[in-house]
Structure formats: C-alpha cells, structure tokens
C-alpha cells in the first residue's frame, strides 16, 4: 500500500472528542448562554440557520457539493420547514474545526454512498422547523400574543387576529435567545412547496463566469506551488533523488521528499514546479510489486472462481444440489477491470503550517476525514488545526475516504513553515495514483428445470475487496467477509438482491491486489449489475423466453423492482416491434435504497459500431427532493458508467498503471450521448433512497444485452474497446 | 518575458515563452477561470478564444499568442450582462460541478459565432469537450435554445 494513512472514524472521534466544546473557530461562540454569531455578526437561530438583518437566510450545509446538487437539495429541505423566502437563501459550509468544537452539531460531513440527502433529511428538516418555531415565538413575544395565533410564510410572520406582520430578519436576534422547542413535527411531504420541486440550483452563476474558486484556483498571499510524483509502483519508496540538478531552475524554491514514497518540487508557479519535477532524477525502490501485471492479477482471480473457501453473501435453499439436478445448466465467466475516477479537477490541497497552526484548503467529500488527516500529518492537536472546504471539481468517491493529497500537502508545508503551499497533481499523477474501482471476476452457473424455470443460481465472485484495504475494522467484525462486495446481490438491506430464486448462492473468494482500491461512483453495483443482469438475459435466452417475462416471474415478491422494470419496458415499448435496426436491452437493481431500471435502444453498424439512441430510466427514490437534479444525476451517471463500459480500463504493467491521461483513458463526448428519458417515481415510505449512484449500474448491462440481441455476440469482459467495439 | 492581451488588457509577464498559454493565463496573468484538465489538448477545459477562434490553451506556447487578442471566460460577458451562452447555461441549469464549464462555454460561444443555428451534427463535430459529470444533455438543449432565440 501507499502512504495513505488508515484513519477510521473511531480513532477520529476519540482523538477529537478529547478537546471538548467551547472553542471559537471562526464562529463567535459565547461563554455561557448567549447568541452564537456568524463571522459577519448575524445571529444563529440554530446551528442550521443564520438570518441577516436584510432577511437573507444562510443555511449551513455539512455535506459537500461536487456537482450532484446536494447543497441545493438540503437547502430546499431546510427552507421547506423554515418557511423562508427561497429567493433569499444562500448556503455556507461550517468547518470541521467548528464541528469538533461544537460536538458535531451538524452530524457527519462525509458525502459518499449517495447519502448526502437520504441520511440527513430528517435532522436538517428538524433544524428548519425548530428555527421557524423560534422565530414565530420571538414575534409573538414582541407582540405579546400567543404564538399559536401567528404563522410564517416566505420569511414573513403574521399575527392572524390583528394582521400585524414582521420579518425573519427583524426577530432573528430575539429568536436566537430562545430555548429551542423539542419534538417538532415535520410537514407531510405531500404539502411540500419548495422541496419536491425542480427549482434551479443555488450555485450556478459563478460556474459560468470563471468566478467560482476551485481548489486548483486558490490564491493566498505569499503562496508557493508544488508538483509531486509518488512512486508509480504502489508500495514502492523513494530511494534517492538529485535535487541539485534542478534547484537552480527558474522559480524553484525547494525540492523535498514527501513521506517515504514521493518527491515534490516547490516553485513560484506550478508550471515551473512541474517542469523542474519532470527534470528531477529520482530513483525508486520499487519493491516486489514491480513484478505484478494485469495478467498475473487475472490469474489469481481466475483461481478464485473455483476455490473452496469463499465468503457467503446470500444463500437460500441448496444451489449446488439444484444445479446438479437441473435439466439444463448455463455457465458464464465475466470480468471487470480497474478504473480510475478521473475527476475533471485533479487532486489538490493547499496547506499552511506553523508550529501553532495548520490550515488546509481542500476540495473534499469528507471535511472531517480531511481534518483527521491534517491532525495526523501535522502532529498538532485539533484546536490548532483547521480545514476549509472548497467545492469540488468532481468527486465520484475519490475525495472521501482517501485524503492522501491532504497528507502530502501538509508534509510539504511542514518543510516550509509559514508559507502557504498549493499542491496540484498533474493529470498523469492523478491517473497513476488513483484509488481504483476494484477488479472482479464472476462465474455464474444457472440451472433450469424441465419447465425452463430457474431452479438454482450460483454466483461466485472472485476479486478485490475495497473494505479490506479501506475499512479493515468492518472485516474484523464480519470474520473476514467484506459485506460491500455484495452490493446489489445481498440477502437484505439497501442493496438487496432483486429476485426470488429457490436455490441461490452468492459468494466471494477474496483476492486482493497491491493496487489500492476505492469507492468509485456506484462502487460494487457496477460489476454486480452487469454480472447478474447480463446472465439473466443469458438464462432467458437458454430458456427460450422473453427477457422481461423471464424476469417478471422471479419478481413476484419484489414489487418495487418490478414497478421500475415495468415502467421502463412500457415507456420504451418493450414487446412491441422496435424501429428498423434498433435493438433493446433491459436491466434493474436495488441500490442505495433506490430501485432503478433502464431500457436502452441501440443500433450496431459494421458489427462493431454501437449507437445508443435512447435510454429510458426509472428510479424510485422514495422521495424526490429536486426532480430536475435527479434527472441530471441519471444522465450524468450514464455518461460516467458508459464511458467505463466502452473505454475505461487501468491496466497494470511492472506494478504500475499504464494509462496516463485522457488519450489512453477516454471519456464520452457529446456526440456519443444518448437521449435519456427519466421516469422519477418516488413511492414514499420510511426509508429514503439515494440519487447520485444507483442508476449508474443499469446502463451498462442494458447496453450489453441489447448488443447481444443486435449481433448474437455475448460480451463478458470489459471495456468494450478490447473487443474492437466502438461507441459512435 | 512575454506580453499578452487578455480580455482587452495588456499584461507583461516574466513567463518563459514556451510555457503553455494556459499556465501563463492562470499563473502570471492571474485569471483562473480557464481550467487545466489534461494538458494534452484532449479535454477542452482550457478553451479560450484567440482572435475569436476557440483554442485549447494548454497545447500552445504562450509566445504563439503574443500580439493576438485573447478572450477568457472572465471576458466573455459584457460587463454585468451575461453572454447569451452563459445566460442559456443559467436558464437550463447546465453545470454540475462546473469545472469543465468554462471551456465548454467558450467552445460553444465560438461555434455559435460561426454557425448561429448549428445542427446536432455540427454540435457533435465541434464540441468535443470532456465533462466527467455528464452534462451533455443540458448542453445540447441550451445550445439549441440559444440558436432559437
Ligand atoms: S487542459 Fe487543455 S485540453 Fe485538457
Ligand atoms: S460539470 Fe463537472 S466536469 Fe463538467
């Protein structure tokens, strides 16, 4: 493994809880009872809501914005309960240091697993509702009337009997002094006016004018720039480097080693730092991993397909017995490659270190994770550390659990005390030092009885565990098993298997590699949905049945899976003749507590040129806070997932990743973009489903299934470019 | 030492002439709206206009732009009034993370200058920018909306 520190949440809480509350970090916290004030002096009605005298409402958002629209969605939920004027809403990130000082009043910062809204909707709405009641109470106190006679709408409070009005901005100061009420009742989503509506995002304008400051764009007084190169063989180290060769180059200030594994050049501009870094002679101690290649990894995985030992993820009946008794047996082996996140904005972080204070500015999916990395790398206690979150130029899972760039920035800044240093990765560094989508192979064996019913299924996964590398404590509790491996095919929970099959076995032969794995948008549903949903088509074909009908028979106990599948089939016209040359394919899954399905229409010319004309997608997210943003996430997830399907593979040679940039790791362009039709069909209930990730998994298998119908060729390894299949 | 005219202003910089224009714009001129995504003319994040034409600024030396009229995303609007492409992007809520959008908008603005009513085929042939968030459906809608207006 590389230098990435293994910071788990437990150690973070323990190390930060020790310093307790009462530290003023940017916010002005009073001693004893009193009003907490934002930096501009405006009162906090509660931790979620600051109201300025001009009625501007500042809503605090702990989760990170990386394009998925979370800050807008969360602000909608707070606004809904607060009854404030949406046109006067703005948002602000609290800092992780403030969170620590205030006993994590904003809850978790981590923004991954499509959790941004679905796991915080309740407490943020409570925050809005509580603030509304306090504002109304403050007005009632001023007027000397019962609060029950007052109501609030659009930031205006009205006393019903007298018709008197006031605004939030006028009573915020008094409201902030009140004791918050308890057990506040939330609105029925049926009555939502701002939430549930396709309102525009709050954060668009600055993205159109070049004004939005990304981490890459940060400027601080006296700041220097760093370019870095880490040992390209994972697990390798720096042996030596010849700083003298480049220290005289223009702009170069310092050449430093970063931990055991990397070297960096610090210069006045990044371009000069990078130019010197490219000229810097470095000798690596590459270690034993330098012998590893894609072929050796594939061999290890292949052996796992028939290995005795495997962790069971889902079992009912007796799959092996059913398979040996089957009238017809179908078997197939699939494999899925390593993939890089390739966020549009490469990794970066800016750090300033003195023995009294370490500050970091970083685009991060997990401000608290970044904070923990700063503590660890700086060696300073929590009250001397701070992290300022910056909106991300894409995250997709790369910028949450992994804070390697933060650690590096602090390690560099420590060697130039007092000077802010902005560390930017080149695209090449970003490609070489990913936290890759894990590799996985899968052998599926299905049995059909004499009536062509699916009597048994064995799905043997063999490949890499993300949690073994990233959250080993979870494996400890599971006797070595990685439960996340079974996303989409699990026996229960938010990634439950979508079919009822009398005899079923899903198990995992864990085969870890030296290539560091990570959470890549959708995580393990990407390969699991391909494995399962392509194989269901293979079984339907072997049974001589329609792919939809074959599935429907197994979906009797899965009404929500069935509903989304039916919805796409009906909209796309499944069962009716397709236009000349058009072929359809289907897939569905339950993921991140949402139910998703897709039906694609493709044509294939010359046997290998695939045009995707249309994708109909349905998602049941339980609730839809912003349908317009959900549509965008669906379309975006297809761009991400189909780029992976057609183009993307990180291959390993001599222990390192071979692809270096978008020329060898392509991404879909507008010409290849299919028309996406979204059916958003939230069906309510107590559990909310996610948005950013679930739909990513259904596009690829639906396309592969359609390709089979078009050509009679069943593709089982990816990306499709390896089969000379092009996306046009 | 190199002299550049960016958004109507002249900048004398100490950049080496072979520095990619992108980095001189970002670091010496100090305008960071123009983004780095690949450095090898693949992604289009760094697109600016040189004498009105869309150019991927990571792939040309700054010296090649000396004496020419460079426009970056910061210079596209006329004062407070957004360029029609920016306005359409706002109306159609196009950006997700936004990182690629400056380059996307500059590429589209140049296309619309040449072809005020582009077909889908024109768009496909000209707009080859990468957007990892996958905003293409909104990009296409917004381009057609501008063309219709
Ligand atoms: S940065 Fe210039 S094209 Fe990618
Ligand atoms: S909007 Fe994020 S890369 Fe295009």
- Alpha-carbon distance of A288 to A247, in angstroms, equals 32
- Given A424, A456, A485, which residue is the final one in a domain? A424
Confidence (pLDDT) at A39: 85
Q: What is the pLDDT of residue B108?
A: 98
Instruction: Answer yes or no: is B104 within a domain.
Output: yes
Q: Is A53 exposed, middle or buried (0-12, 13-18, 19+ CB in 10 A)?
A: middle
Residues of chain A with pLDDT under 70: 1-33
Q: Do B106 and B69 have their domain in common?
A: no
Q: How many CB atoms lie within 10 A of CB A651?
A: 16
What is the structure's pLDDT at A40? 87
Nearest to B140 among A201, A345, A670 (CB): A670
Pull the structure tokens for residue A86: 């949406």
Judging contacts by C-beta atoms under 8 Å, the chain B residues touching residue A69 are: 96
Residue A16's pLDDT is what? 34
Query: Are B68 and B91 found together in one domain?
Result: no
Residue B115 lies in a domain: yes
Contact yes or no for A210 and B33 at CB 8 A: yes
Domain assignment of residue B139, yes or no: yes
Where residue B110 sits, what CATH number does that domain have? 1.10.150.120
Statement to judge: residues B115 and B142 lie in one domain: yes
Gap between the Cα atoms of B60 and B40, Å rounded: 10
Q: Is residue B33 part of a domain?
A: yes
Q: Are residues A260 and A403 in the same domain?
A: yes
| B29 and B93, same domain (yes or no) | no
Domain assignment present for B138: yes
Cα of B130 vs centre of ligand 2, distance in Å, is: 8
- Written as six digits, the tokens of A323 are 């398979």
Q: Are residues B53 and B17 in the same domain?
A: yes
Are residues A409 and A463 both part of a single domain? no
Instruction: List the single residue in B with minimal CA-CA distance to A639.
Output: B134
End of a domain among A359, A390, A424? A424
Ligand closest to B37 (CA) is 1
Q: The domain that contains B16 carries what CATH number?
A: 3.10.20.30
For residues B69 and B11, state if they share a domain: yes
- Chain centroid to Cα A144, Å, comes to 50
DSSP character for A28? B
> Tokens standing for A588?
């569905």
Is the same domain home to A465 and A601? yes
Note whether A339 contacts B: Cβ–Cβ < 8 A: no
pLDDT tens track for A366-420: 999 999 999 999 999 999 999 999 999 999 999 999 999 999 999 999 999 999 9
> In the numeric block, which tokens belong to residue B62?
């700054």
Residues B60 and B31 occupy one common structural domain: yes
Same domain, yes or no: A390 and A518: no
Q: What is the DSSP string of A642-670?
A: HHHHHH--B-EETTEE---STTTS----G
Same domain for A454 and A485?
A: yes
Residue numbers in A near B102 (CB within 8 A): 210
Q: Report residue B136 as tokens.
A: 């293409």
Domain range spanning residue B103?
84-148
Average of per-residue pLDDT across B50-55:
98
d(CA A591, CA A602) in angstroms, rounded, equals 25
The pairing of beta strand A357-363 with beta strand A385-390: parallel
Same domain, A644 and A542: yes
At residue B43, the 3 state secondary structure works out as coil
What one-character DSSP code corresponds to residue A438? Answer: P
Q: Are residues A205 and A222 in the same domain?
A: no
Q: B12 and B36 share a domain? A: yes
Could you tell me if residue B89 is inside a domain?
yes
The residue among B50, B74, B98 that closes a domain is B74
Same domain, A415 and A456: no
Final residue of a domain: which of B45, B74, B103?
B74
Domain count of the fold of chain B: 2
For residue A392, report the distance from its CA to the centre of ligand 2, in Å: 10
CB proximity list for A149: less than 8 A, separation 6 or greater: A140, A159, A160, A161
Task: Specify the CATH number for the domain of residue A448.
Answer: 3.30.365.10
Q: Do B127 and B104 share a structural domain?
A: yes
Q: CB of A100 within 8 A of CB of A371?
A: yes
Give the nearest partner residue to A210 out of B23, B74, B136, using CB atoms.
Answer: B74
Q: From the CA of A674, how many Å to the nearest CA of chain B?
A: 8
d(CA A349, CA A421): 8
- Residue A465: inside a domain, yes or no? yes
In tens, the pLDDT along B5-16 reads 999 999 999 999
Q: Which long-range contacts (CB under 8 A, 24 or more apart) does A379-384 make?
A: A380/A355, A381/A19, A382/A15, A382/A16, A382/A18, A382/A19, A382/A97, A382/A100, A383/A19, A383/A23, A383/A25, A383/A97, A383/A101, A384/A356, A384/A357, A384/A358
pLDDT at B50 over 80: yes
Residue A254: helix, strand or coil by DSSP?
Answer: strand
Q: Could you tell me if A466 and A503 lie in one domain?
A: yes
For A457-491, the pLDDT digits (tens) are 999 999 999 999 999 999 999 999 999 999 999 99
A209, A244, A263: which is the final residue of a domain? A209
Nearest Cα neighbor of A572 from A549, A599, A552 is A599
- The dihedral region occupied by B10, where left means phi > 0, alpha psi between -120 and 50, and beta the remainder, is beta
pLDDT score recorded for residue A30: 58
| Whether residues B131 and B99 fall in one domain | yes
Return the number of CB contacts < 8 Å for A and B: 178
- How many domains does chain A fold into? 3
User: Do A523 and A666 belong together in one domain?
Assistant: yes
Same-domain pairing of A415 and A324: no
Asked if residue B79 is part of any domain, the answer here is no
**Residue range of the domain that includes A42:** 36-209
Region label for A133, one of left (φ > 0), alpha (ψ between -120 and 50) or beta (otherwise): alpha
> What's the whole-model pTM score?
0.95
Q: Are A593 and A494 in contact (CB under 8 A)?
A: yes
| C-beta of residue A523 within 8 angstroms of C-beta of residue A484 | yes
Residue B6 falls inside a structural domain: yes
Nearest-angstrom CA–CA distance, A148 and B21: 64
Distance from the B127 Cα atom to the nearest Cα atom in chain A, whole angstroms: 7
Report the alpha-carbon distance of residue A618 to residue A634 in Å, rounded: 9
**Alpha-carbon gap, residue A9 to A6, rounded angstroms:** 10
CA distance linking residue A283 with residue A285, whole number of Å? 7
Omega prior to A719 cis, within 30 of 0? yes
Min Cα–Cα distance to chain A from B67, Å: 22
Q: Is A11 part of any domain? A: no
Phi, psi of A159 (to 5 degrees): -90, 110
Residue closest to A697 by CA, chosen among A529, A499, A498, A520: A529
Q: How far apart are CA A389 and CA A360, in angstroms?
A: 8
Q: What is the pLDDT of residue A17?
A: 32
């Amino acid at each position: 493994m590389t230098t990435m520190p293994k910071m788990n949440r437990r150690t973070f809480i323990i190390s930060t809880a020790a310093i307790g509350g009462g530290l003023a970090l940017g916010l002005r916290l009073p001693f004893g009872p009193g009003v907490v004030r934002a930096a501009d002096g405006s009162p906090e009605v509660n931790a979620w809501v600051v109201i300025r005298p001009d009625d501007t409402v500042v809503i605090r958002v702990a989760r990170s914005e990386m394009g998925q629209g979370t800050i807008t969605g969360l602000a909608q939920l707070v606004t809904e309960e607060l009854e404030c004027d949406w046109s006067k809403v703005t948002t602000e990130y609290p800092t992780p240091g403030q969170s620590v000082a205030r006993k994590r009043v904003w809850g978790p910062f981590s923004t991954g697993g499509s959790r941004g809204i679905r796991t915080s909707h309740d407490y943020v709405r409570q925050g809005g509702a509580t603030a509304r009641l306090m504002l109304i109470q403050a007005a009632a106190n001023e007027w000397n009337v019962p609060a029950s006679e007052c109501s609030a709408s659009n930031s205006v409070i009205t006393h019903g009997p007298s018709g008197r009005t006031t605004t939030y901005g006028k009573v915020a100061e008094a409201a902030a002094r009140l004791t918050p009420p308890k057990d506040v009742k939330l609105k029925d989503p049926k009555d939502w006016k701002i939430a549930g509506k396709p309102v525009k995002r709050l954060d668009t304008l600055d993205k159109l004018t070049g004004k939005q400051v990304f981490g890459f764009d940060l400027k601080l007084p006296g700041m220097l720039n760093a370019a870095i190169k880490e040992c390209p063989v994972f697990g390798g180290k720096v042996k030596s480097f010849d700083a003298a060769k480049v220290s005289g180059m223009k702009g170069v200030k310092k050449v430093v080693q970063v931990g055991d594994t990397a070297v960096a050049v610090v210069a006045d501009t990044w371009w000069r730092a990078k130019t010197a870094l490219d000229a810097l002679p470095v000798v690596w101690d590459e270690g034993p991993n330098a012998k590893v290649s894609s072929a050796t990894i594939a061999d290890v995985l292949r052996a796992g397909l028939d290995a005795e030992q495997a962790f069971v993820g889902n079992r009912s009946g007796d799959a092996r017995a059913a398979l040996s008794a089957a009238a017809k047996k179908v078997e197939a082996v699939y494999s899925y490659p390593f993939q890089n996140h390739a966020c549009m904005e490469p990794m970066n972080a800016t750090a300033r270190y003195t023995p009294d204070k370490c500050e970091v500015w970083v685009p991060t999916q997990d401000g608290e994770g970044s904070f923990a990395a700063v503590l660890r790398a700086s060696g300073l206690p929590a009250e001397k550390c701070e992290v300022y979150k910056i909106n991300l130029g894409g995250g997709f899972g790369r910028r949450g659990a992994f804070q390697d760039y933060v650690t590096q920035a602090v390690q560099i800044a420590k060697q130039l005390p007092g000077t802010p240093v902005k560390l930017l990765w080149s695209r090449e560094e970003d490609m070489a030092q990913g936290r890759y989508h894990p590799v996985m192979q899968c052998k599926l064996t299905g049995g059909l009885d004499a009536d062509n019913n699916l009597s048994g299924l064995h799905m043997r996964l063999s490949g890499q565990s993300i949690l073994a590398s990233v959250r080993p404590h979870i494996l400890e509790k599971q006797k070595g098993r990685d439960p996340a491996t079974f996303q989409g095919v699990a026996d229960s929970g938010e990634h439950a298997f979508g079919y009822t099959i009398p005899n079923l076995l899903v198990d995992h032969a864990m085969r870890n590699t030296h290539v560091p794995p990570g959470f890549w948008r959708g995580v393990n549903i990407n390969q699991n949905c391909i494995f399962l949903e392509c194989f269901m088509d293979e079984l339907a074909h072997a049974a001589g049945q329609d792919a939809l009908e074959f599935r429907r028979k197994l979906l009797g106990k899965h009404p929500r899976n069935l509903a989304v599948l039916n919805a796409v089939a009906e909209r796309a016209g499944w069962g009716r003749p397709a236009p000349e040359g058009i072929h359809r394919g289907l897939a569905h899954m339950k993921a991140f507590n949402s139910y998703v399905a897709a039906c694609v229409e493709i044509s294939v010319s010359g046997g290998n040129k695939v045009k995707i004309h249309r994708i109909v997608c349905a998602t049941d997210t339980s609730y839809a806070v912003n349908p317009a943003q959900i549509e965008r996430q669906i379309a975006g997830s297809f761009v991400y997932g189909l780029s992976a399907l057609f183009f993307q593979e990180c291959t390993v040679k001599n222990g390192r990743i071979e692809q270096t940039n978008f020329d060898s790791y392509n991404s879909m362009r507008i010409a290849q973009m299919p028309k996406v039709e979204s059916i958003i069909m939230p069906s309510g209930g107590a559990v909310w489903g996610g948005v950013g990730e679930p739909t990513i998994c259904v596009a690829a298998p639906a396309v592969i299934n359609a390709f089979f119908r078009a050509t009679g060729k069943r593709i089982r390894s990816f990306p499709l470019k390896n089969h000379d299949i092009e996306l046009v | 030492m190199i002299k550049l005219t960016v958004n109507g202003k002249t900048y004398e910089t100490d950049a080496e002439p072979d520095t990619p224009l992108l980095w001189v714009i970002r670091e010496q001129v100090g305008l960071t709206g123009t983004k780095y995504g690949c450095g090898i003319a693949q992604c289009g994040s760094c697109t600016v206009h040189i004498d009105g034409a869309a150019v991927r600024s990571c792939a040309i030396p700054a010296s090649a732009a000396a004496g020419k009229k460079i426009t970056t995303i910061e210079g596209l609007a006329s004062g407070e009034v957004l360029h029609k492409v920016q306005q359409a992007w706002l109306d159609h809520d196009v950006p997700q993370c936004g990182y690629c959008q400056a380059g996307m908008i500059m590429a589209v603005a140049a296309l619309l200058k040449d072809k005020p009513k582009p077909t889908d085929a024109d768009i496909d042939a000209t707009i080859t920018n990468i957007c990892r968030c996958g905003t293409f459906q909104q990009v296409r809608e917004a381009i057609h909306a501008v063309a219709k207006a």
